[in-house]
A and B are shown apart, each in its own frame.
Chain A
């Protein structure tokens, strides 16, 4: 089965190279047979990758430890469900997984592309299959998941204990899929450049795939944060680790691109800027893959350093060159705009500013990621750049972006008079000032959190005012606002879906500000049956339980929580240490009691004996809002993507 999987990959490589060449030649020479042939190999390659992936999965399910990769990432005691996780948990397997997602998405994109654009996709598919070929090349020659060892161990090493949590079924695959999916908008943009007819039909497919890629990557990032919070149990959710950053950066630039494409669709400008944005996104995504696989930066996320990293570096450099050359080549065409920006107070200008800020944030983060390397090279000193740096530098710019999120949508295209701008903003400003006074009196007096909360309220009032106005105008005869509200949302799905997404971002910001500025911690020793009071909580330490599952031992600490104001209502939460002797690792899970107001979070630090332990009690205000932003984000994206029923010619 292992040889089979390997040779299928080789067959796949030959076919994808064929597809790439024939798509390209067929497009240049305008020969249908070449393109038909290329299409066929394009789809067959998808089949090959699927077969190859299933071969690896089969080896896992059959506990075939002659396969080195399987032996290193699974064990006899592992249940079947974990097999999928084991598949992508290592260097080679994760690369095969990325390839799998890449070809599936490529197939979906091509198969479901509207007929008015499909004939123009040949060049895009050519680049797409070159990327496929690269992944296959890397797998076959540098990271073969089907490598066999002559010595067959009796049992495998087992999966990394950290990966045993259900969240791990979703976070890495989603994140890897998100980064891999960026190829699709990238090749579509290149295809639109190649298409000399400057057709407007590209806008829709570009916007759709940018959104899909953005949503997948965004969810991957958010679920990673959620997993860190609930499973790793150190009380935080984002550590500005290089790998986290390297997933965030393309997401920020992609956010800019999604807004910027709107401007191109509407006014025909920003074409050069959009190509630069997508190229930057793509290169950043490749940078991510490079750093993740043996790059020069230290991270808890990286796979072991390998030559594969070097290969990705080369690929990234090649793609950067290609992007630059294609921009230079098409420069005249891209800057040949009929329209211009006419005023600072316009939707275009605010979106441009928004874009610039997002890109600057991304570059600032990049600077922070590489500065340790720069410091060693230029200053011969080893230093660290971690959370405190990024919080201080990226934080204020994010605040700016949030404020723009409120102002941008109320500006008209082309030009808004100052009067109109003030008129539209004034009610919101008044409400915000009142709310601001209220929170100041309630105790929020520190500058940055105060401004942040006020800005969040500001943007919310603007969105709500527009929605209330829109609903009211549809409520002519009825008293029930709900159908009118829904009709309003549906009537302009792009805009309103965008508002829902903005609300998600506001919820996220709300939670981040709460947890960052108002978190509280207390280290304390507790004994069984002891009851502690902390803030508004009464915490009863009930018992310590010891469990054994296979080789692994789990020590649980059970707490009963009630509010001091209402001692009758009790909640049971459990904190634990799990010890995995095979990996010589202890994984810590904290006990969490979550409400929209705050999270009570108990970290088990040290089990002293069967009756005593040290714990860290934490209060994380507003943490709940960070997680609720995920579903809201997905909802907003779906509303935006929901196609109109109008027929197109």
Chain B
């Protein structure tokens, strides 16, 4: 009897955990619209260097329009996504990419939130367990 209850308990929380982890790691999957044209995807991932923190997608300044045209040209020349991004990084620096690329120190941009979430869930679990037993 005890064993059955334990198995039931295990199953439910097991399922819940799997679900949590799946949703959670979906954040690493690319969130972009996969059917979108390449140049639209790139516009959302590249910053306009002089526009107060706007991506090319958001900005309507002349420089942004220029860069958008450059992207179209490069695509026509056969560059792929990574090449085009590298091209801009060479010209404008790392800050032209709209998110921290996962290399070196920048890993902390993602690590801290993930650790924070996991820690807080653990704290939640432990806190309730303590209250129940205490």
Contact = CB atoms under 8 A, between A and B. Distances in A.
Interface of A: 232-236, 239, 241-242, 297-300, 302, 340-344, 349, 352-353, 356-357, 359-360, 363-364, 367-368, 371-372, 374-375, 378-379, 381-389, 391-393, 395-397, 399-400, 418, 446-448, 451, 516-521, 523, 586, 588, 605-606
Contact of B65 (A382, A386, A397, A605): A605
Nearest to A342: B132
B132 A341 contact: yes
B112 interface: yes
Given A397-B117, A519-B33, 14 more contacts: A239-B58, A300-B52, A341-B128, A352-B124, A352-B127, A352-B128, A356-B121, A371-B109, A383-B94, A388-B31, A396-B24, A451-B23, A586-B60, A606-B65
B33 A385 contact: no
5 cross-chain pairs, A with B, having the tightest CB-CB distances, nearest first: A379-B105, A386-B98, A389-B99, A388-B99, A364-B113
Contacts of B24: 396
A447 B120 CA distance: 25
Given A241-B53, A378-B105, A517-B33, A388 B45 contact: yes
A246 to B, nearest CB: 13
Contact of B94 (A343, A381, A387): A381
A300, A344, A383: most-surrounded residue (chain B CB, <10 A): A383
Contacts of B57: 234-236, 387
A356 B55 CA distance: 31
B8 to A, nearest CB: 8
Contacts of B121: 356
Given A386-B99, A387-B98, A446-B34, A360 B117 contact: yes
Contacts of A518: 33
22 contacts: A234-B60, A299-B52, A352-B127, A352-B128, A360-B117, A363-B113, A364-B113, A378-B105, A379-B106, A381-B94, A383-B100, A384-B95, A386-B54, A386-B98, A387-B55, A391-B31, A418-B8, A447-B26, A448-B31, A518-B33, A519-B33, A521-B37
B31 A516 contact: yes
Contacts of A606: 65
B31 A521 contact: no
A232 B60 CA distance: 9
B18 interface: no
Given A234-B57, A375-B106, A393-B113, A384 B29 contact: no
Contacts of A605: 65
A393 B33 contact: no
Contacts of B82: none
Given A360-B120, A521-B37, A383 B53 contact: no
Contacts of B110: 393
Contact of B58 (A234, A352, A393, A400): A234
Interface string B18-29: 001001101111
Interface string B71-114: 01000000000000000000001111111100011101110110
Nearest to A359: B120
Contacts, number: 163
A34 B124 CA distance: 46
B97 A379 contact: no
Contacts of A378: 105
A374 B42 CA distance: 26
Given A234-B58, A341-B128, A388-B44, A298 B53 contact: yes
Chain A interface mostly: helix
Given A360-B117, A389-B100, A382 B128 contact: no
Given A233-B60, A234-B58, A360 B116 contact: yes
A448 B29 contact: yes
B134 A340 contact: yes
A523 B69 CA distance: 11
Contacts of B1: none
B10 to A, nearest CB: 13
B132 A389 contact: no
Nearest to A446: B34
A517 B44 CA distance: 13
Contacts of A371: 100, 108-109
B67 interface: no
B4 interface: no
A395 B31 contact: yes
Contacts of A363: 113, 116
Nearest to B30: A392
B12 interface: yes
B65 A384 contact: no
Contacts of B55: 239, 386-387
A343 B133 CA distance: 10
A236 B12 CA distance: 40
A395 B27 contact: yes
Contacts of B47: 384, 386
B25 to A, nearest CB: 9
A344 B98 contact: no
B109 A399 contact: no
A364 B116 contact: yes
Contacts of B36: 519-521
Contacts of A391: 31
A387 B48 CA distance: 13
A384 B23 contact: no
Given A300-B54, A342-B131, A382 B93 contact: yes
Contacts of B35: 520
B31 A392 contact: yes
A340 B44 CA distance: 48
A374 B120 CA distance: 23
A256 to B, nearest CB: 12
Contacts of A368: 109
B132 A396 contact: no
